[in-house]
Structure 1
Amino acid sequence: MPDSTPQRADYRHFQPIITRWHDNDVYGHVNNVTYYSFFDTAVNTYLIEKGGLDINDGEVVGFVVSSACDYFASIAFPEHIDIGLRVDKLGNSSVRYELAVFKTGEDEACAAGRFVHVFVDRATNQPVSIPGVLREALQQLVM
């Protein structure tokens, strides 16, 4: 768990998301597993729009090999949120993302997560070097 609650200024890119009716669980807040969907949405939107990742026909795909999340405050439907994104470590075939969930207009995170993508050849599922354009986009997120 982080030593302190992450702040909005700690992140390089933000993906706006609106929670959905079915995101709430029986306790009246967004269920913990839904945060991972928010993280996937933020990362993959960035990779597609900024890095040119072709999720349908590209030769390279990213596999999540590790993930975790810490929770600080609840969010619920209806809520406008921003997913903060940064890169903690950029390797040859892998990248470690750090993410945070912020209520729109708030500086303190409601949750903070991390996950590792390993980029692989779609046909063989073997790790490959991160392609140039994708690497350049990821480099822009390094803190």
Structure 2
Amino acid sequence: MKQTPKQRTDFSYFLPIQTRWSDNDMYGHVNNVTYYSYFDTAANSLLIEKANFDIRCSPVIGLVVDSACSFFQELSYPEIIEVGVAISRLGNSSLQYDLAIFKQSQDVASAQGHFVHVFVDRQTRKNTPIPVEMRDALTPYLRY
């Protein structure tokens, strides 16, 4: 199924990332697995910056249970990219991030995808509700 690239206006949180020399593969572009690293970094940056999430000490952590990425335009080192993040679903113990990668000064995504985090107790790994403070902090990023 062919997707239409998302627009920059579909997102309200952006994380700039400098591509690295090692991101390129032998074909001269950013390797596909690296896009997931960009997505993971941006989603967790949203949690850390906006929801005061402490990745080292929080009793509740988010585990990725689903992810996808569609590619529209190549990226390569030494570009600076911006990863847009929106939340498309905020459930009791899970949320879905919509993510897109934009070249600087471009309004159409070079790649887009999603991550689903299920929140669990750090010790028991059992599903647990998203903490109220986190839910409140993330609600402004809910789209759709």
TM over 0.5: yes
Q: Which residue of 2 is the match for residue 73 of structure 1?
A: 73
Code of the residue aligned with 1:91 in structure 2: it is G
Is 1:34 the counterpart of 2:34? The answer is yes
Residues 46-125 of structure 1: pairs in structure 2 closer than 5 A: 46-125=46-125
User: How far apart are 1:3 and its partner, in Å?
Assistant: 3.5
Code of the residue aligned with 1:9 in structure 2: it is T
Aligned to 2:83, what secondary structure does the other structure show?
A: strand
User: How far apart are 1:137 and its partner, in Å?
Assistant: 2.0
Q: Which residue of 2 is the match for residue 137 of structure 1?
A: 137
Aligned to 1:140, what secondary structure does the other structure show?
A: helix
User: How far apart are 1:117 and its partner, in Å?
Assistant: 0.1
TM-score of the superposed pair, with normalisation by structure 1: 0.97
Aligned residues with identical type, % of pairs: 52
1:2–1:83: structure 2 CA closer, same or farther, 3 Å change rule?
farther
| Runs of 5+ consecutive residues of structure 1 not aligned to the other structure | none
| Runs of 5+ consecutive residues of structure 2 not aligned to the other structure | none
Tell me the distance in 2 between the aligned counterparts of 1:137 and 1:105: 28
Render the CA deviation track for 1:110-130: whole Å, top value 9, x for unaligned: 000101000100010011110
Tell me the distance in 2 between the aligned counterparts of 1:125 and 1:17: 31
Aligned to 1:42, what secondary structure does the other structure show?
A: helix
Q: Which residue of 2 is the match for residue 17 of structure 1?
A: 17
Aligned to 1:41, what secondary structure does the other structure show?
A: helix
Figure out how many residues of one structure are paired with residues of the other and give that number: 143
Tell me the distance in 2 between the aligned counterparts of 1:136 and 1:18: 30
Render the CA deviation track for 1:40-60: whole Å, top value 9, x for unaligned: 100111101111111111101
Code of the residue aligned with 2:108 in structure 1: it is E
User: How far apart are 1:2 and its partner, in Å?
Assistant: 5.8
TM-score of the superposed pair, with normalisation by structure 2: 0.96
Render the CA deviation track for 1:77-120: whole Å, top value 9, x for unaligned: 00011001001110000001100000011001000010100010
Give structure 1 regions of 4+ aligned residues with deviation exceeding 4 angstroms: none
Tell me the distance in 2 between the aligned counterparts of 1:22 and 1:86: 28
